[in-house]
Structure 1
Amino acid sequence: MSNKVLKLSNDKMLFGVCGGIADYFGWSAGAVRLLYVLVSVLSAAFPGILVYLVLWLLMPGAD
């Protein structure tokens, strides 16, 4: 069983949400940011911003 925890990253542009997701899955932070922007734009931006803010509030801080 893995002890990985989804948490904010020190590799951040705003709050570290995309960097934290990238760290958790072992992906490139740039790829996650690009995917986030594409999904946000295609969903009329507001839901993407809301999800980002909720994740920022719920995810624990980086070590």
Structure 2
Amino acid sequence: MTEITWEEPFCAEGNNCFRIGTDSEGNAYIAVAGQEDRHLTDSREALRNLILEIKAGKADHLL
């Protein structure tokens, strides 16, 4: 199993906390904090773009 290095949780007021992780092969992961075993996997660039869109207010309903 690939070892994932998780960053500190990102928590917005009134929302769930999410964590972003990466592995040694450059894959990126996102999970609800405390449920890292149930993560989504994609490329780092895809997750980066998703987060930028959420922060820009284009997809705040996803949180």
TM-score under structure 1 length normalisation: 0.34
Higher strand share: 2
Relative contact order higher in (CA < 8 Å, ≥ 6 apart): 1
| Greater fraction helix | 1
